[in-house]
Amino acid sequence: MGGPTSRVLRLLELLETSGSRTLRELSDDLDIDPRTVRRYVEQLRDMEIPVESLRGRYGGYRLAAGFRMPPILLSSDEALAVVLGLLHAQAIPTIPPAALHTAMSKVRRALPADSSHKLDVLLQTAAIDAAGVDTAVPDPDILLTVADAVARRYPLAIRYGARPVADRSLEPEDLIFHARRWYLVAHDVEASARRTFRVDRIRAARRRPGALTPIEKTDTTHAVSDLVEGFARSPRRWRVELLVHTDETTIRARFPASVAVILPAPRRLGPEWRRVEIQAQRLDWLPPAIAALDCPVRVDAPEELRSLLAETAARLAAAASPRSWDDGESPER
């Protein structure tokens, strides 16, 4: 990185975009020692930028709540990224049109004239088909309340689902955005168990008295993988067990991590075999998915899936038969 001035500006940018950061995180990101980070923080304070110190085991810094830097010019690429996101947001009915309009106006004002004109052309010509857009968007206030509870480690009381039930007491652990949906992972106090909640299904959320023990988080990928694996292991009507003779990459192309758990096969079968376990509400989608693997597959369970595969194979064999129905014979016969 450049000299001290550029590092000070980079420090300000990190605090603006990332909220609170530990001293170690800032030191690593800026490639400087912690003592120099402290000196740069003092330089920002000398410039009357309110940088707050965070106490605790790891320490850190954040900008004071409500502080905003003057508008920063966007490059054409940055503005295009923002505008495309806003265009997609137009298909979400829970986002007020007025908020989208003012956001678009601010982006255009931050651009040079030529780039602003090009984006105006895009806005005038673009059309978005709302069909297929996931409208399960959480209430912004609830999403922010949940995020604050996870970040600052305090308990929540929520109303969940459509039915009018009593508040649920939660100890939030992780907030995860996966497959275009927000999920809250929390300890459910009454159930004494770890639960996953879709944030768009939370009808109300409020802070409860007390504080929770801080959690050190170094890698969010573990939280995402745990969430996805939980989807695959969640009990459903049918427990499907397959033995598949191919590599894990081929299996994942047809059965993602949220659908199937891949385990080692019995050693006697050899290293190329995998055991695949699937929790399924229905079986009708499995025959084409199994056929698409294009490799040896054995169905260990359930018996109903084996019967369904046999019926599907018979229909496909009949469809591939050179004999036509021109002789008047009904295809149902």
pLDDT at 130 over 70: no
Q: What is the mean pLDDT of the chain?
A: 83
Look at residue 321 in the predicted model and tell me its pLDDT: 80
Asked if residue 333 is part of any domain, the answer here is no
Task: Between 66 and 210, name the one with better pLDDT.
Answer: 210
Which bin fits 59, alpha (ψ -120 to 50), beta or left (φ > 0)? left
Nearest CA among 55, 5, 64 for reference residue 30 = 5
Confidence of residue 77 (pLDDT cuts 50, 70, 90): confident
Asked if residue 16 is part of any domain, the answer here is yes
Q: Out of 228, 259, 278, pick the residue that ends a domain.
A: 228
Instruction: Determine which of 32-41, 127-136, 206-215 has the lowest per-residue pLDDT on average.
Output: 127-136
Residue-number span of the structural domain to which 33 is assigned = 4-63
- DSSP structure string for 123-139: HHH-----TT----PPP
Question: Domain check: are 246 and 218 in the same one?
Answer: no
Cis peptide before 302 (omega within 30 of 0): yes
pLDDT at 14 over 90: no
**Residue 14 Cα to chain centre, angstroms:** 22
Asked if residue 331 is part of any domain, the answer here is no
In this structure, the number of other CB atoms found within 10 A of the CB of residue 169 comes to: 16
Confidence of residue 73 (pLDDT cuts 50, 70, 90): low
Look at residue 1 in the predicted model and tell me its pLDDT: 46
pLDDT at 147 over 50: yes
Q: Percent of the chain beyond pLDDT 70?
A: 82
pLDDT at 3 over 70: no
Q: Give the 3-state secondary structure of residue 298.
A: strand
Question: Domain check: are 105 and 29 in the same one?
Answer: no
Asked if residue 150 is part of any domain, the answer here is yes
Sequence letter at residue 106: K
Cα separation, 49 vs 11, in Å, equals 12
Number of domains in the chain: 4
Asked if residue 185 is part of any domain, the answer here is yes
Average pLDDT over residues 185-192: 92
- Residue by residue, what is the 3-state secondary structure of 37-96? HHHHHHHHHHCCCCEEEECCCCCEEEECCCCCCCCCCCCHHHHHHHHHHHHHHCCCCCCC
Confidence of residue 186 (pLDDT cuts 50, 70, 90): very high
Q: What sign does the dihedral 145-151-157-162 (CA atoms) show?
A: positive
Question: Domain check: are 195 and 150 in the same one?
Answer: yes
Question: Domain check: are 214 and 285 in the same one?
Answer: no
Look at residue 74 in the predicted model and tell me its pLDDT: 67
Asked if residue 259 is part of any domain, the answer here is yes
> Tell me: the pLDDT tens digits for 274-327?
999 999 999 999 999 999 999 999 999 999 999 999 999 999 998 888 765 555
Cα separation, 98 vs 207, in Å, equals 29
CATH number of the domain enclosing 195: 2.30.30
Asked if residue 198 is part of any domain, the answer here is yes
Q: What sign does the dihedral 309-315-319-320 (CA atoms) show?
A: positive
Cα separation, 333 vs 319, in Å, equals 13
CA distances from 191 to 146, 183, 187, 215 (A): 20, 18, 8, 21
Instruction: Determine which of 35-39, 177-181, 186-190, 230-234 has the lowest per-residue pLDDT on average.
Output: 177-181
Task: Between 231 and 17, name the one with better pLDDT.
Answer: 231
pLDDT at 133 over 60: no
For the stretch 97-107, what's the b/e string if a residue is b when 16 or more beta carbons lie within 10 angstroms of its beta carbon? eeeeeebbeeb
> What pTM value is reported for the model?
0.61
pLDDT at 152 over 80: yes
Residue whose entry in the numeric block shows the structure tokens 């530990």: 22
Question: Domain check: are 147 and 224 in the same one?
Answer: yes
Asked if residue 132 is part of any domain, the answer here is no
